[in-house]
Chain A
Amino acid sequence: MKEVFMGRAENCLAAPVIRSLKARAKQLRRHVLRMAERVGQGYVGQGLGIADLLAVLYFHEMRYDATRLDWPDRDRFVLSIGHYSIGLYAALAEAAILPIEELDTYGADGSRLEMCGSETTPGFEINGGSLGQGLPQAVGMALGVRLDGRPARIFCLLSDGELQEGATWEAALAASHYRLDNLFAFIDCNNQQADGPTEKVMSIEPVEDKWAAFGWQVQRIDGNDIASILAALEQALAAQDKPHAMVLDTLMGKGVPLFEQRAKSHFIRVDAAEWELARKQLEESNKEMDKNG
């Protein structure tokens, strides 16, 4: 399957668009479970939580050529949070940038699909994982493509934990100083980080006020609702002269109640017997979402 995504549907809020993106998100979640089950543990919650955003970006908004990853005019997805790689592998496989079967090598010795993602994998624009480095590099890319007069846009995914790193705010300042309206920062607010809930570890709220104070165009939305993400993107694209921040409230483990309800945790271990239930629950919650959508 060769797919080249050259942009978005005209009426992007039309029901068929939303329906097809929901189907993509479903598929991404299936891929996430497939990978996680093989290693029995990991960043499953993050992969499930971010699937809706990745579906919208990779199958609606971003312009890229799966057969030509170095196309200079491509939109760039910058994964600052390397441990979310499981989510991006799912999207890259679905976008035919990675062979689907390769997902079975996730985390294995010698595999390109590392637990903490890097440029070892095709489709990764930076080496993420040393958290707080994504936004500075995204600012550099946004400046770079603008200097070259390219239409490319930069979509950077950060986490709520990364809002505690000083470098994120240094970059935020630079982005608004240079009026980088080709830069989009998505902040995954799942209220979790390594030592527990973000609000307990080091509170970061009110998040949207901070970005606004730094000169960004800001929206805060339900990051697990595809229609909301689409609508917010529309608004962001219409706003010029400022970089765009989209604060996403997401649910770790979204789509699998077993993981949604579990003491939410940065890194989970799952018993071998639980995977079948997880898969079943995902299919059930997919049906549920279909009904409601």
Chain B
Amino acid sequence: MGDRTGGASNTGVTGTLLSSDTSEAETTALAPFGRALVRAAERNPRILGLTADLGRYTDMHVFAERFPERFIQVGMAEQNLLGVAAGLARTGFIPFAATYCVFATRRAYDFFAIGAALARANVKVVAGLPGLTTGYGGTHQGIEDLALMRALPNVVVIDPCDATELEQTVAIIADYNGPVYLRLLRGQVPVVLDSASYRFELGKAKLLREGSDVALISTGLMTARALEAATRLAKSGIKAAVLHVSTLKPFDSQAVLSLLENVRNVVTVENHIITGGLGSAVAEVVAEVGLRIRLKRIGITDCFCASGSIPYLVKRYRLDPESIAAAARTVLGAAEGN
């Protein structure tokens, strides 16, 4: 595993997609989720790893190799995966269940809603191929999973930025008692955040960059692109702040409001449809306190996306740094016109 495929040798072609898109990253880490889960499991014997025929494709195989007796393969059966996980949680175990976003939400939603959310069971869902990290089209791209999971009471929803944050998140949710939905980055995962200085905290957004002209509020792997957009904007004299919101639920309203108190031009940036995810969460919070802002949401607009290579899709659906920077300029232009 960990071989980067569908890369340079094969541009323009749908790849094997064993790795998360590393186009913007210089450094990467291999299978950060699998390795972090192994470390957590070495400390805590109650942790188990489960999958529905996607161990090789979710980095759960790293755990399975280290702890074969604590690994449960349920076959390709996602409803059963989350049902079994709920049962294990009721017997005092801490199951980490790995599949893809689409199957965890669309196929097995009811099983998670009732077995884990309603029951407040200690089930961790680890969901691969978030948004446009796969070229397999509408059946495989998890573009509305955050909206679905945000809508469930009792559930913690996390979309980590990179390998550093993913590793830290695994350690923290292993100790947190309750249902969690964690978006996964697999294979060779970009390292964007400095592991020496960055500290993931459940439910806390992090201001990664200060700026007084425009606020880029981002989640998941889009934060790397938001940071890149901020660098580009700086070249034309625009000061962009970047607030990284990895926990979408519970939502850190305080961090958002204190930033927007001073910066009223806002772009939200997510690897997800723009309804029901981060953009919506920001709009809800801001509208409720009656703050006047100019907002543009970057993400997938109301459509299922095509098949193809990741760079092609990222450009086509305007999830690239340049599109973020352009949105910021548009928002600022509107501000000047006021």
Contact = CB atoms under 8 A, between A and B. Distances in A.
Interface in A123-145: 127-132
A114 B76 contact: no
B195 interface: no
A269 B13 contact: no
Interface string B303-327: 0001111001000000000000000
A166 B108 CA distance: 11
A56 B9 CA distance: 37
Contacts of B308: 108-111
Contact of A162 (B15, B76, B136, B307): B76
B135 interface: yes
Contact of B75 (A41, A109, A201): A201
B100 to A, nearest CB: 10
B197 interface: no
B136 A109 contact: no
Interface in A41-66: 41-42
Contact of B14 (A115, A127, A132, A269): A115
A193 B76 contact: yes
Contact of A166 (B10, B80, B135): B80
A129 B13 contact: no
Contact of A82 (B51, B61, B139): B139
Nearest to B315: A109
Interface size classification for chain A: 20 to 34
Given A39-B10, A109-B12, A201-B73, A193 B53 contact: yes
B102 interface: yes
A128 B307 CA distance: 14
Contact of A194 (B57, B102, B312): B57
B77 interface: yes
A116 interface: yes
B139 A202 contact: no
Contacts of B139: 82, 116, 118, 127-130
B137 A116 contact: yes
A164 interface: yes
A12 to B, nearest CB: 35
Interface string B61-102: 100000000000111110110000000000000000000001
Contact of A195 (B55, B138, B140): B55
A234 interface: no
A161 B76 contact: yes
B5 interface: yes
Given A107-B14, A109-B309, A118 B138 contact: yes
A155 to B, nearest CB: 21
Given A114-B14, A164-B77, A166-B77, A129 B140 contact: yes
B103 interface: yes
Interface string A7-22: 0000000000000000
Nearest to B61: A195
Nearest to B103: A130
Nearest to A204: B75
Nearest to A118: B137
B107 interface: yes
A109 B15 CA distance: 11
Contact of A116 (B53, B54, B103, B136): B136
Contacts of B13: 38-39, 107-109
Contacts of B309: 109
A166 B56 CA distance: 22
Given A41-B5, A110-B308, A130 B102 contact: yes
A267 B55 CA distance: 14
**Most A Cβ at <10 Å: residue of B51, B79, B106, B138:** B138
Contacts of B177: none
A193 B135 CA distance: 20
Contact of B136 (A129, A201, A202): A129
Given A116-B140, A118-B138, A130 B106 contact: yes
A118 B61 CA distance: 29
B27 interface: no
A241 interface: no
B16 interface: yes
A165 interface: yes
B12 A108 contact: yes
A40 interface: yes
Contacts of A108: 12-14, 308
Contacts of B138: 118, 127
A152 B5 CA distance: 43
Contacts of B9: 40
A116 B77 CA distance: 19
Interface string A148-165: 000000000000011011
A91 to B, nearest CB: 20
Contacts of A42: 16
A114 B17 CA distance: 14
A194 B56 contact: yes
20 contacts: A38-B13, A40-B9, A41-B15, A107-B13, A108-B13, A109-B308, A114-B137, A115-B14, A116-B136, A118-B138, A127-B138, A130-B139, A130-B140, A165-B77, A195-B55, A201-B73, A201-B75, A201-B76, A202-B73, A202-B76
Given A115-B135, A118-B307, 15 more contacts: A107-B14, A108-B14, A115-B307, A120-B307, A127-B138, A131-B76, A164-B53, A164-B74, A164-B75, A165-B76, A194-B57, A195-B53, A195-B54, A195-B56, A202-B53
Interface of A: 38-42, 82, 107-111, 114-116, 118, 120, 127-132, 161-162, 164-166, 193-195, 201-202, 267, 269
Interface of B: 5, 9-10, 12-16, 51, 53-57, 61, 73-77, 79-80, 102-103, 106-107, 135-140, 306-309, 312
